[in-house]
Amino acid sequence: MKLIALIQISALPALGVHAFDEDSLLQVTHASRHVCRHGRKKCHPPVQSCAEFRGCKGKWQPKKDAPATCRPKGCSKRDCCTSAVPTTPFDCNNSVNFVLNAQYSQISLNDEEAYAGTEHAECKDTAVAEALAYCKAECLYHRSGCTGFFFQKHTNGHEICGFYSEAVNATNLEKHVHQQCSQVCILQPTPTPTPTPNSTTPIGAQDEWLPTPADELKRSADESASFYPSAGSRAQGTPCMTGFKELNVEKPYEGEKKILLLGTSKFLLPCTNGKLFNTGHHSTETLVPMYHFDKAGFKFDVATEDGAPLALEEWTFPLAEGYEDKLHEIRSKVQQQLEMPRKYSDISESLDGYAAVFIPGGHGPLIDMHTQEPLGRLLRSAHAKGLTTISLCHGPTALRAAAVGGDFPYKDYKIAVFPDAVDKTSPSFGYLPGPLRAEDTAESHLKDLGCKVQNTEMDDTVVVDRELITGASQLAAQKVAEAAVQVLVEKYMQQ
């Protein structure tokens, strides 16, 4: 018999004190992370909880009764806010408000499912700014191929946005009878700079939404040219996780069982346009859980497909604003295991001596972890033993290896994983240097194998189903660690 419980991870008791039923399934609901508006249900990356957002840098006015937080004027503590929609791409013109003879897809901003906006009979600067921010984010992050949109505020206060999917013809711009704040916003193409010999332009000084050349990250002189995310997307994703906190483990584990980290040494992910993404495992997704596992008393073995050093996304460390020192602390402590890992094939399939398996995220696992037969054998063995298996973001794509040379054991498991839809849109703001190849997507292939994906957004959803603990993205790293430590405390430290 299986019992499914929905709880907030923050509501868990002090670790090591209370336990939930042994055969229960824990699904941690994700926190709302919306552009600031009462009751809005749709999220856009990159956004954060109002209660957690800090360091506004003048973009929002703090509310008088909560000077330590940052939110748009008039938002309550229960509302949620975006740090900012990218400022670069749109050219907005309120002398026009429609494009003649252009197909568009329309949403109502007063529709609770889309926006839950409040109708005002007249234009109000704050409300219009929020509506435009919402439509810009909708165009950028949720509508593949979007070239721009119109925002119209009707005389009765009703607001709509219509999104174009073809190039906007400037000669067809018109002004209909709507309120003055109505306008057309056109997504501006970002020109690719022509490289010049012996250029002295520093790395990262290019246009903020172009992928950044990764020359300074090369591991060898003959390594192929690659890219890491644009300066704009990195800035918008900082901090890459909120809510870091120490866990209260009353009595750390003192036994001999270790946590087995199964990762990859591969770090160059090819895109369909021939460009390479400089990746590996995301530092937050790898080291935040390891930090908490270490504090709970567990030691580690690390294994990669070829025994080469575990690949980490070095460019992600500065994104760990507020807790980067914790990442460096645990990295230093496990440096030898990370740099001199074992091979998958060196690990006994009995998995005796291990308390859990951990597969961290980052785009690195997409490269070929799902093709590794020795990894698949270990995962099938872990499943057969009921060994706690932990993964997040793109890491769960490695579960596909369990279907290589055997029956896939995770059919009908509920999981969280990074959404393919976000990967599909990320080249538009320079996170990826190009679209992913079809064979490298995670979510769709896991669904094809029978996994039941519970999240639709890049958020902090955590799902625990039987022995499998999964998280949706880097935003879930802390909560994945909390859920995993809770399970391990009950399993090994309360006997």
Residues carrying an active site annotation = 393
* Contact (Cβ atoms closer than 8 angstroms) between residue 289 and residue 333: no
Q: What is the DSSP string of 271-308?
A: BTTS-EEE-SB-HHHHHHHHHHHHHTT--EEEEESSSP
Q: How far is CA 216 from CA 45, 278, 429, in A?
A: 28, 11, 22
Sign of CA dihedral 191, 269, 324, 456: positive
How far apart, in whole angstroms, are the C-alpha atoms of residue 312 and residue 317?
9
Q: Give just the sign of the alpha carbon dihedral 30, 36, 40, 42.
A: negative
Rounded-to-integer distance, Cα 397 and Cα 366, Å: 7
d(C-alpha 330, C-alpha 288), whole Å: 8
Residue 142 dihedral angles phi and psi, to the nearest 5°? -125, 0
How far, in Å, CA of 365 to CA of 372, rounded? Answer: 11
**For 444, how many CA atoms within 13 A lie in the half-sphere containing its CB?**
11
Between CA 399 and CA 138 the distance in angstroms is 32
Burial of 308 (0-12, 13-18, 19+ CB in 10 A): middle
